[in-house]
Structure 1
């Protein structure tokens, strides 16, 4: 208190913008967990609202229906998996083999996170109901990585160290080689040990480069 005047206080009835954003994040996280646990069909707005200590009316004020909430929760999970372009550039070590190894480890590492694992599992289980999930994830999270690899390959092709080939196809094949196996194990709940991941990444990179080198 100063000069007998009590300090002003923010009204307790209306949350700040930061509080509202944090509450929305919590809602989307909770929704994704419950969609994973019960499936889209059995998870309900009432179930999610109860878990959040919200009313259904509050949830419906933010999302018109369950599908909209589901897609928003998946979208937020995808956004958390996006690697900023500047971070991708930092993986370029000048040596193609080492750069591809770094990319492989990064992609696998992202799936090992809680968010990455939840995202992969929800895509696997609900893609039949929401066919656009795969492309939604690829366009935002996967495509920038593929295009970065394309740039690396085009650089080597222009130098004459790699045979001329479709770089987009080659980049897609590389990511499938290095990531698909470990990701299947991770999603199944039996993640490979660090040494096994190292062995898989090294082998995939070497096989890929051997196939792409000029003879």
Structure 2
């Protein structure tokens, strides 16, 4: 049922958030099934049971819808972390999020489109990987961006390459934690991880 037939009146904040999620859920399914270029706003509107005007109002054009889906992955992952969560929690959350099916599928699409649409690749990096690197740097002494980038690379690593190639299944929670710990140990960050967990006296 299109949104013209939904309840009359201004939607509540919760209803707006749900409708935006519905649009992004529908868009991700279409992008992963059909590829970026084959998906139109008309198709997204039909799948989400809204109008094109609603999509423009809530998010924007097709590119903005794609980038909003990328951004939502990070928001969902990092929102679940508390200010007290340390580096290991952030690292394992990033592994679990970016090795998951939807994230891998969106990453493949950007790689496929990057030659034609370098602007899309640049904005994908800003709204995706760069945000995760910043989140890691916040838990490193001196907010060390260079070390955060090195850690982020290890959190993807060969396992992520195999995911992109369809050669490996997504990791479960235990595997994500093990991957994160191995990456931290490679950069000799395990001591810092333990320090962030120890209560102050």
- 1:22-52 deviation line (CA, Å, top 9, x unaligned): 1121012211221232222111111112212
Larger Rg: 1
Task: Give runs of aligned pairs for residues 53-132 of structure 1, distance below 5 A.
Answer: 53-62=49-58, 65-83=61-79, 86-87=82-83, 89-91=84-86, 100=88, 102-113=89-100, 115-128=102-115, 129=117, 130=120, 131-132=122-123
Q: TM-score, normalised by structure 1?
A: 0.62
Higher relative contact order by CA 8 Å / sep ≥ 6: 1 or 2?
2
What's the CA shift for 1:115? 4.9
What are structure 1's unaligned runs of at least 5 residues?
A: 1-10, 92-98, 155-165, 211-215
Contact 2:137 / 2:144 at 8 angstroms: preserved in 1?
no
RMSD value, Cα = 3.5
1:208 maps to which of 173, 182, 187? 187
The 1:110/1:61 distance shift into structure 2, 3 A limit, reads closer
Contact 1:82 / 1:140 at 8 angstroms: preserved in 2?
no
| Aligned-partner Cα distance in 1 for 2:169–2:18 | 31
| Aligned-partner Cα distance in 1 for 2:93–2:58 | 34
1:42 aligns with 38
Contact 1:45 / 1:56 at 8 angstroms: preserved in 2?
yes
Q: Size of the alignment, in residue pairs?
A: 177
What's the CA shift for 1:21? 2.5
Aligned partner of residue 139 in structure 2, secondary structure:
helix
- 1:127-172 deviation line (CA, Å, top 9, x unaligned): 44212211221333331213313x1xx6xxxxxxxxxxx9432332
What are structure 2's unaligned runs of at least 5 residues?
A: 1-5, 190-201
Contact 2:70 / 2:127 at 8 angstroms: preserved in 1?
no
2:134 maps to which of 143, 148, 161? 143
